[in-house]
Structure 1
Amino acid sequence: MLLRAFYGGTFDPVHNGHLAIARAAREALGTTIWLMPAADPPHRDAPGAGAEHRAAMLDLAIEGQAGLRVDRRELERAATTDAPSYTIDTLRELRAKHGEHAPIAFLIGADSLHGFATWKEPEALLAGAHWVVAERPGSALDEHLPPPVARLVGGRWTLNAAALRESPGGKLLRLRQPLHGESATQIRRRIAAGETWHHLLPLPVAKYIAAHGLYGSASSGAVVRLPGSPGV
């Protein structure tokens, strides 16, 4: 059966590490990866850039890359409600569209798995979808999981990506991919401080940030020169 895979996050901004994970998942799962920007994530501070900016940067980042697409459903839902953006709501929306028997997978980083027990209705999330977990620097999956998470995921791991196509959900798969040290938080700090940052993002995204003065790039006092710009 067709496996539908979704990679959620604030993507604030989308960077090379995000794309490395998405491409690795595309190859491992043999399916299109839908990058899904969150509108109002309840587990973290408000994004540094507005939703439409973040979605526009995602469009630029994946342009011309086969098997990567942008899904705006959480942004569209937020436009009609003031409620926080919960993954369980997204899963139920996907189930309403694709049916209860369609294999659905969510792609998350190992750092997100460590906090999974604090998500809304974690048991329903685990039962209702597969979870592909990418290693992240400082949050490798070999580390001890918090006891509440270990109890939730115990016995659900599989080594076989093809197994995710055989059921609607309930399994976890470890995604091995090249680890990137950058994080969106670090990139935002570097931009605001006028430090070098453009090499950490796809070039069109870096140009977009500079053109729109996002993350303090216009007020940092630094002249941001990108590859291909005059004088570079």
Structure 2
Amino acid sequence: MAQEQFTISAMRIAFFGGTFDPPHRGHLAIAQAAADRLRLDRVLFAPVGNQPLKHDSSVASFEDRIAMVQLAIGGDARFQVSIIDAPRHDDLPNYTIDSICRLKESLKPDDQLFCLVGADSFLGLPHWHRAAELLTACDFIVASRPRFDFQDAQAMLPQGVRICGDALYEPGLSVVPISNHSGQSSTLYFLPDLREEASATEVRAALASHGASNDAVPPPVAEYIRAHHLYQ
């Protein structure tokens, strides 16, 4: 009797980094839209230990933010918490390019890795560590905010990265090919129609004023915030 052959299909995985201080419904809406439209198998929510571009950016501890993310994502089997951006032992910043490279080393050759970011983060990407290298290390999924215009994508790219072909447009998705001076290429996937305006800063302010009943965070997260006296 011939031995059965089993093949493991390739995975489509998105790295979703951020402070998640706290994780709110806007984060979940971005992840759900990306997972649905790009047919992702996994979205890795990775709270950052030490944000390079924001001094003293985290109010809650890394452990609290990990716990809140775990509670927030429990309703979707595609979502998973990751500690790849945990605080470093040397207290240096956590750089996304380092996390992406480590993730790629842990994946199978056929797996496809994306980096999922919001529009505000994407606008600041030219200031990120090794930005040109990062943009061609994997494909990017960029989620919109209201009134955000993706039409002039070239102006948003860091020096050394350019659009290298025609953009493709389909419902709920714009696809833009890019490359660097070395010929390395990747793809930007824009999600142009999201309408989640909540920000973590606004959510924290509302929680401080009104307590943990704020509708912007999922109920399990609100209960955790209340129980641990966060953002009071």
TM value normalised by structure 1 = 0.80
- Whichever residue aligns with residue 137 of structure 1, its letter is P
Pick from 37, 59, 70: which aligns with 1:59? Answer: 70
Question: Which residue, out of 51, 55, 58, partners 1:41?
Answer: 51
* Shift in CA distance, 79/131, structure 1 to aligned 2, threshold 3 Å: same
Q: What SS does the aligned partner of 2:140 have? A: strand
Structure 1 residues 174 and 80: alpha-carbon distance in aligned structure 2, compared to 1, 3 A threshold: same
Structure 2 regions of 5+ residues with no counterpart?
A: 1-9, 177-183
For the 8 Å contact 2:45–2:82, the answer to whether it is kept is yes
Instruction: Name the SS of the counterpart of 2:90 in structure 1.
Output: coil
Match of 2:133 in 1: 124
How far off is 1:59 after superposition?
Answer: 0.5
1:15 pairs with 21, 24, 28, which one?
24
From the superposition, tell whether residues 215 and 72 of structure 1 become closer, same or farther in structure 2 (CA, over 3 Å): same
Find the residue that maps to 1:69 and give its secondary structure: strand
Instruction: Write out per-residue CA displacement over residues 5-59 of structure 1, whole angstroms, 9 at most, x where no aligned residue.
Output: 1111111100011101111111112122111111111111320110010110011
Partner residue, 2:195: 179
Cα deviation 1:203-227 (Å, max 9, x = unaligned): 00011111111011xxxxxxxxxxx
Given the superposition, is the C-alpha separation of residues 102 and 123 from structure 1 closer, same or farther in structure 2, using an over 3 Å criterion?
farther
RMSD: 2.8
Unmatched tracts of structure 1, length 5 or more = 217-232
User: Which residue matches 2:180?
Assistant: none
1:24 corresponds to which of 22, 33, 42: 33
CA distance in 1, matches of 2:146, 2:38: 22
**Which is further off, 175-184 or 88-97?**
175-184
The question of whether the paired residues in 2 share the 8 Å contact of 1:61 and 1:204 is answered with: yes
CA distance in structure 2 between the partners assigned to 1:146 and 1:169 by the alignment: 18
Task: Name the amino acid aligned to 2:62.
Answer: A
Partner of 1:111: 120
Tell whether the 8 Å contact from 2:116 to 2:140 is kept in structure 1 after alignment.
yes
Q: Measure how far apart 1:187 and its partner are.
A: 0.9
Select between 12-21 and 149-158 the one with higher mean Cα deviation. Answer: 149-158
CA distance in 2, matches of 1:3, 1:22: 13
Question: How far apart, CA to CA, are the structure 1 residues paired with 2:51 and 2:189?
Answer: 24
Which of 193, 198, 212 is equivalent to 2:228? Answer: 212
Separation in structure 2 between the aligned mates of residue 64 and residue 186 of structure 1, nearest angstrom: 24
Measure, in 2, the Cα distance between the counterparts of 1:63 and 1:4.
18
Residues 129-158 of structure 1 show CA distances to partners (whole Å, capped at 9, x for unaligned) of 110000023544247775654873523755
Q: Report the CA distance between 1:196 and its aligned residue.
A: 7.9
Distance in 1 of aligned mates of 2:145 and 2:162:
18
2:212–2:225 CA contact under 8 A, matched in 1: no
Q: 1:144 to 1:8 in 2, by over 3 A?
A: same
Q: Look up the equivalent residue of 1:215 and give its one-letter code.
A: Y
How far is the alpha carbon of 1:185 from its aligned partner? 0.4
More helix by proportion, 1 or 2?
1
Aligned pairs, how many? 210
Structure 1 range deviating more: 63-72 or 143-152: 143-152
The aligned counterpart of 2:205 is 189
State the partner residue of 2:144: 135
Alpha-carbon distance in 1 for matches of 2:101, 2:228: 35
